[in-house]
Amino acid sequence: MSTAPRILVVQHEEQCPPAWFGLWLAEAGCALDVRRPDLGESLPDDLCEHDGLLVLGGHMGANDDASYPWLGGVKTLVREAAAGGVPTLGICLGHQLIAVALGGEVIVNPLGQQLGVLEIGWSDPLLGERPARGIQWNNDIVDRLPAGAIALARTPRGELQAARFADAVWGVQPHPEADVAVVTPWADADRATQGDAIIDAAQADVEAAVPEMHAEWAAVARRFAAVVHAAMSPA
């Protein structure tokens, strides 16, 4: 009798849960082991008991190890996953942590914050899929890819949106897990700097785009789940 593949989910803060992406993975037959190192929960020393890795977003920077000590442990797990072929996906900060862990560079976006529902400029598909748009809410971007990584999508201005970092390691700058409920606290935190008009417009765009986001990004989650199932360690 087969068992469900276990995916280690690293959640960095309350405001960045697995949300819809986690639900889609569960519906695809995966068991999620969600760890909250920000609450003192420990991360495993290795991935021996897990078949996949999902690293979520957060307000911290990918180089903020001194302030958020668990980030170093996440990078260690990413390097193990890349070396051992453990299917891995990073979302926003998770995407940036993968880049740094494998030798890339992350910077504050010199072109300013990206927020709202933005088009994705695919050059190659992500796990066989090409969602037309994604919810983005970020200040930092991957500025330099690690050696051997492949850019899958960029904005018209050149900002990286998705990459394949190793044979089974991917990262996306957009937030496929997000909906209005997830975005609302991010929006509230940015009102003072962006202003009500910009934030209200971005939230309205997210609300209008939820059916589209669910249809297109659920397919990505199912594809990732299939990769995890295929690579699952023998019971």
- Supply the pLDDT for residue 232: 83
Task: Calculate mean pLDDT across residues 16-22.
Answer: 97
Q: Is the pLDDT of residue 201 over 60?
A: yes
Banded pLDDT at 3 (limits 50, 70, 90): confident
Share of the chain above pLDDT 90, in %: 95
Question: In terms of Cα–Cα distance, which of 61, 32, 20 is closest to 178?
Answer: 20
Neighbours of 27 (CB within 10 A): 12
Query: What is the per-residue pLDDT across 76-120, written as a single tens digit (0 to 9) for each?
Result: 999 999 999 999 999 999 999 999 999 999 999 999 999 999 999
Q: Is the pLDDT of residue 234 over 80?
A: no
Q: Is the pLDDT of residue 1 over 50?
A: no
Structure tokens of 97?
């942590």
CA 18, 175, 151, 103 torsion-angle sign: negative
Give one word for 176, left, alpha or beta, with left for phi > 0 and alpha for psi -120 to 50: alpha
Banded pLDDT at 233 (limits 50, 70, 90): low
Cα 5 to Cα 152: distance, rounded to the nearest angstrom? 27
Q: 126: which DSSP letter?
A: B
Neighbours of 21 (CB within 10 A): 24
Question: In terms of Cα–Cα distance, which of 182, 200, 212 is closest to 92?
Answer: 182
The whole-model pTM stands at 0.95
Structure tokens of 136?
């983005």
Share of the chain above pLDDT 70, in %: 98
Domain 6-231 -> CATH class: alpha beta
Q: Is the pLDDT of residue 235 over 80?
A: no
Cα 179 to Cα 215: distance, rounded to the nearest angstrom? 13
The burial of 110, by beta-carbon neighbours within 10 Å (0-12 exposed, 13-18 middle, 19 or more buried), is given as: exposed
Question: Average model confidence (pLDDT) for the chain?
Answer: 95
